[in-house]
Structure 1
Amino acid sequence: MNAYRAKPLSFPWPALLYGTATLAALLLARYSPIPVVHGHGWVPWISGAILVATAIWLDLWAVKTLLDRHTAVLPQRCATCLVTYGPFRFTRNPIYLGYTLMMIGFGLITLNPWFFIMAIAAVMLTTIFAIRNEERHLLSRFGFEFERYCRHTSRWI
């Protein structure tokens, strides 16, 4: 099959990876907890809540931007156009960035350091299994336009 017509992913890896990372953080906290000093009262909880709210807002903004352009939202669907405005002006992967911020926020709210460790693992695995394939797909479909976008917009932040 032609790379131009090929789907970026055959399976929705990001959702599985972030869901598994969240479950792993919860299980690891239960069976192998990392001690945390509780000296700052409400500060971690409020910071975590702000991060979770920001993550939800970022994800919704990114999905709305994709829907406005009538292109694929799901990572296993072919892109019909290159979206470079909205949150995509600041990062090439605002939805995955939102997932990562949400995990960090949950880590602060629950004072569970495993969320930070699993967020890093999810970022690395998502980059390997999803983002690189998605970028190859976009490069094959949009060529120079995508290359120019990559030069001006970072992958994460």
Structure 2
Amino acid sequence: MNETPFRIALVVVIVLTMVVTVYHRLQAAKPGEKISHKDEGYLFATVLRLAGLVLWISTFGYLIFPAYFQWAAMPLPARLRWIGVVTGALCSLLMYWTLSSLGKNLTDTVVTRSEATLVTHGPYRWVRHPFYVTAALLMASVTVLTANWFIGISSLAVLALLAIRTPKEEQMLIERFGQQYQDYMVTTGRFIPRIGR
């Protein structure tokens, strides 16, 4: 199968997502507040970032040197791979909605900013961690788009580490927002919306 259209599509998905993500990270960092990774744990932070690096290397490896990543190819039909392209592009819109709603509260660790506010609008109305849900959908889309199981395994490793980190993140939010966050937890699911709420 000709990989060129899928490689071009992957570039589009990456560019759309990176533009949204980098813009919002820069906006959140404008006040210049130093965010420590101490509460996350330096070892855990290192492992998470190394897993993310493996994911990036495998994704860019597929993009730049596709022949070298043929060993991890999955026999997926072109129609399914194009669904991955469409959902990947739609994920950039979901990422925009999520990060726009989060605003200057965005960090890359469990620590909340000194001026943080509790966000319960936008996608946060339904789930407490829509950024992770969006990341999971994006990684699944890229796995299908590239038809590469190594990218899929790398994605699962990153997502598993984020899921492991989430209870600590929520504990920090409880410490910061108290009963307000506990009430929010009752009405929203962590990653999946609560039915009937």
TM-score (norm 1): 0.74
Structure 1 residues 73-84: aligned runs within 5 Å: 73-76=106-109, 77-79=111-113, 80-84=116-120
User: What one-letter code is carried by the residue in structure 2 that aligns with 1:88?
Assistant: Y
- 1:115 matched to 2:148? The reply is no
Change (3 A) 1:122 1:151: same
> Partners of 1:146 and 1:133 in 2: how far apart?
14
The alpha carbon displacement at 1:8 in A equals 8.2
- 1:134 matched to 2:169? The reply is yes
The alpha carbon displacement at 1:54 in A equals 2.5
- Structure 1 segments, 4+ long, off by >3 Å, are 7-15, 23-32
Q: CA RMSD in A?
A: 3.1
Structure 2 gaps of 5+ residues are 1-34, 193-197
**Which 10-residue stretch deviates more, 20-29 or 82-91?**
20-29
> Partners of 2:152 and 2:120 in 1: how far apart?
29
Partner of 2:127: 91
User: What one-letter code is carried by the residue in structure 2 that aligns with 1:119?
Assistant: S
Structure 1 gaps of 5+ residues are 1-6
Q: Name the SS for the 2:100 alignment partner.
A: helix
Partner of 2:105: 72
Change (3 A) 1:9 1:85: farther
- In 1, are the aligned partners of 2:54 and 2:154 still within 8 Å (CA)? yes
The alpha carbon displacement at 1:17 in A equals 5.9
| Equivalent residues, number | 145
Instruction: Pick one of 121, 143, 146 that aligns with 2:181.
Output: 146
Change (3 A) 1:149 1:17: farther
TM-score (norm 2): 0.61
1:35-87 alpha-carbon deviations (Å, 9 max, x no partner) = 5224x22x1222111221222112111111122xxx41113452421111101
- In 2, are the aligned partners of 1:17 and 1:122 still within 8 Å (CA)? no
> How high is the sequence identity, in percent, across the aligned residues?
23
- In 1, are the aligned partners of 2:48 and 2:158 still within 8 Å (CA)? no
Q: With CA pairs under 8 Å and 6+ residues apart, which has the higher RCO, 1 or 2?
A: 1
> Partners of 1:88 and 1:113 in 2: how far apart?
31
The alpha carbon displacement at 1:106 in A equals 1.0
- In 2, are the aligned partners of 1:8 and 1:137 still within 8 Å (CA)? no
> Partners of 1:136 and 1:8 in 2: how far apart?
16
Partner of 2:71: 33
> Partners of 1:104 and 1:122 in 2: how far apart?
12
Change (3 A) 1:8 1:86: farther
The alpha carbon displacement at 1:20 in A equals 2.5
Instruction: Pick one of 51, 57, 82 that aligns with 1:46.
Output: 82
Change (3 A) 1:84 1:61: same
